[in-house]
Structure 1
Amino acid sequence: MVKMPKKERALGMYKDMYLIRQYEEAIYYLFLEGIMPGTIHQSHGQEACAVGMIYDLRKEDYILTTHRPAGHDLAKGVSLRSMMCEMFGKAEGCCKGKGGAMHTGDISVGAITANAIVGGNLPIAAGVALRCKMLKTDNVAVCFFGDGASNEGAFHEALNAAAVWKLPVVYVCENNLYSATTSIKMTTAVENVAADRGSAYGIPSEVVDGNDVLAVNEAAKKAIKRARDGKGPTILELKTYRIGGHSRNDACGYRPKEEEAEWFSRDPVTTFRNRLLAEGVASEEELQEVEGAILAEIDEEIEYAKNAPEPQPEDALTDVYWEGGIA
């Protein structure tokens, strides 16, 4: 077990995980009530992956995420207000209301707009890392992907390029055991995506308990330092589990109830909260104060987003790539 950090750092991690959890809880019910348009792919149960990996990144570092981006983006510093406005399709959204739940991001804080194509962000991350290297900065790219993406051709092409060029990139497999609704046992021949496949490209790897934010953070710090020092890529595999389904209409009937019970008992937010109390890092009153402030902020931003300006029809003609440039 990784040693508990000092109070400020430990509470900072808990705040970030709790914010992600409650943000996604809030938008889940807004979608159910028909108040929000579109659909969502949530990261309930994977909060420790996002916070542990991103907590020590600089603003100038980059993350590249998936169709399940909310936790990563909030952990990287995309504002809650701009995220909420994006969910409502408003002009003040982080993508001006044009992206929706699967395409959030904010380049000003290093969160490259999410890519909903499975494995589509893997070669892009190599390109971002190559840019960092060519500009002679010590910035790094952290690229998240699911276990299913490791079966895509882009995975192998990206890892090979990253290894050959010693790119400053950390590839992070959030292995939640399911590719959408299909068990990894039916789709993937190897047991560990990181160790078994990273070794084929000479890339150091580590398999980590993805529900332990401190264990994730410990592995993240080493991998990020390695990238900053010019020693090339690392692949981390975070063993975790979705609390909810693949998307909001998924009732998870394909998952064994015993499996769910085991993983749900290891809920990363609840587990870390209990450890904070058990080790005397924070009192129940302090945690309730933190949680209350976050819940109040979410409620405030929901009300703001509901009343925020709508995009105008002419906005559909901006941010469009065409042969002559960008409109």
Structure 2
Amino acid sequence: MCKSNSPVNLPVISTINNDGNNIDSNTVLLLYEDMLLGRYFEDMCAQMYYRGKMFGFVHLYNGQEAVSSGVIKLLNSGDYVCSTYRDHVHALSKGVHPKHLMAELFGKETGCSKGRGGSMHIFSAQHNFLGGFAFIGEGIPVAVGAAFQSMYKQQVLNQGGSLNVTVCFFGDGTTNNGQFFECLNMSVLWKLPVIFVVENNQWAIGMAHHRSTSLPEIHKKAQVFGLPGIEVDGMDVLAVRSVATSAIDRARSGHGPTLIEALTYRFRGHSLADPDELRSRQEKNAWLARDPIKRMKKYITDHGLISLQSLEVLESQTKNVINDAVNFALSSPEPSLHDLKRYLFVED
């Protein structure tokens, strides 16, 4: 995420979140701003897609912002994140600048992957963002590998410092795949510093979650392998942050992995090519009423942390960041034909 453009210097006000933990106003503002950035970015992606500026499949994250912000904004710069094909907002939360992300989606040379990755393959070595993956489950072994190298550096190579944590995001449909079970087993066996975050948005493309698995409560699958399995309201960023704090502390201290099931919902279709006709209007409206950004705004105003005027200024500034990202992407050069085969192999 780009540097905060917060309109005021806030006094550090301590309040109590839903789990009874203290949280200061600066942290609340950071979370709200990050969720706004993600929502506005994805809304702009929809506009640009329908204007023919993006191609292929584009999967948006609207509605799930509390999961990304609640987990990733707790991580250090040296920690790792593995994503899915719904990866834009994860990258923003990890620190990838919106203009470099937008340029990547436009296929431009200034993109974070030089325009070679596109929507489903966002990658940034600078930010330890290990990529989006087009096929479900692909990122889980990569995340386990990243967690293993962190432990190997400390225990075998005797490199000092605390363990770097790896967070792996994936959807409910992925938890019926073999990689999920194999990697949970390995991560517990070696006590790897990895956190598995299931973004259970209730639908695997067009298949309702409860129709596709014999055990709809995904967090209970952790019991088989002996790691903590926790269910959390994925529409409440403070609840997600509270659960993630404990999981990150556990991983960094060498006590092993945690499985977090965040119950959330995607407000748009599976992709921008999906007419979204399978979900009932009643179901959509029930989840829209729990919009994580509106809930956070209500929390802020109810506790008197930030004035409505200041929030409106922040919202306007965040929209300007997204508009600047679009202008940057539009004005950026296309990759050169001379570089068509570049980046396929390791260069000297």
> Could you tell me the TM-score, scaled by structure 1's length?
0.96
In 1: Cα distance, 2:275 partner to 2:294 partner: 23
Residue identity in the other structure for 1:113: G
Alpha-carbon contact 2:64-2:265 (below 8 Å) kept: yes
SS of the counterpart of 2:168?
strand
In 2: Cα distance, 1:128 partner to 1:300 partner: 34
Instruction: Give deviations 1:252-297, integer Å, cap 9, x for gaps.
Output: 2111222111111001011111111111111110101101111111
Q: Pairwise CA RMSD of aligned residues?
A: 1.2
Instruction: Give deviations 1:30-52, integer Å, cap 9, x for gaps.
Output: 11122322331011000000000
Specify the alignment match of 2:87 in structure 1: 69
Shift of 1:123: 1.1
Higher mean Cα deviation, 1-10 or 220-229? 1-10
Alpha-carbon contact 2:168-2:196 (below 8 Å) kept: yes
Alpha-carbon contact 2:104-2:114 (below 8 Å) kept: yes
Residue identity in the other structure for 1:126: V
Does residue 1:220 correspond to 2:244, yes or no?
yes
Specify the alignment match of 1:160 in structure 2: 185
In 2: Cα distance, 1:318 partner to 1:89 partner: 15
Shift of 1:316: 1.8
Equivalent of 1:180, from 205, 208, 232? Answer: 205
Alpha-carbon contact 1:78-1:105 (below 8 Å) kept: no
In 1: Cα distance, 2:326 partner to 2:209 partner: 37
SS of the counterpart of 1:236?
strand
Specify the alignment match of 1:57 in structure 2: 75
SS of the counterpart of 1:18?
helix
Specify the alignment match of 1:2 in structure 2: 19
Superposed, 1:73-152 pairs within 5 Å as 73-136=91-154, 137-152=162-177
Does residue 1:189 correspond to 2:242, yes or no?
no
- Give unpaired runs (5+ residues) of structure 2: 1-17, 155-161
Specify the alignment match of 2:159 in structure 1: none
How high is the sequence identity, in percent, across the aligned residues? 36
Specify the alignment match of 1:204 in structure 2: 228
Residue identity in the other structure for 2:275: A
Residue identity in the other structure for 1:266: R
Does residue 1:280 correspond to 2:309, yes or no?
no
SS of the counterpart of 2:260?
strand
Alpha-carbon contact 1:243-1:264 (below 8 Å) kept: yes
SS of the counterpart of 2:118?
coil
In 1: Cα distance, 2:32 partner to 2:283 partner: 26
Shift of 1:85: 0.6
Shift of 1:186: 1.4
SS of the counterpart of 1:102?
helix
Specify the alignment match of 2:4 in structure 1: none
Shift of 1:314: 2.0
Shift of 1:96: 0.4
Alpha-carbon contact 1:147-1:173 (below 8 Å) kept: yes
Specify the alignment match of 2:260 in structure 1: 236
In 2: Cα distance, 1:185 partner to 1:84 partner: 35
Runs of 4+ residues deviating >6 angstroms: none
Higher mean Cα deviation, 59-68 or 136-145? 136-145
In 1: Cα distance, 2:174 partner to 2:211 partner: 14
Counting matched residue pairs gives 323
Specify the alignment match of 1:302 in structure 2: 326
SS of the counterpart of 1:135?
helix
Shift of 1:326: 4.5
Specify the alignment match of 2:9 in structure 1: none
Higher mean Cα deviation, 222-231 or 29-38? 29-38
Alpha-carbon contact 2:171-2:204 (below 8 Å) kept: yes
- Give unpaired runs (5+ residues) of structure 1: none
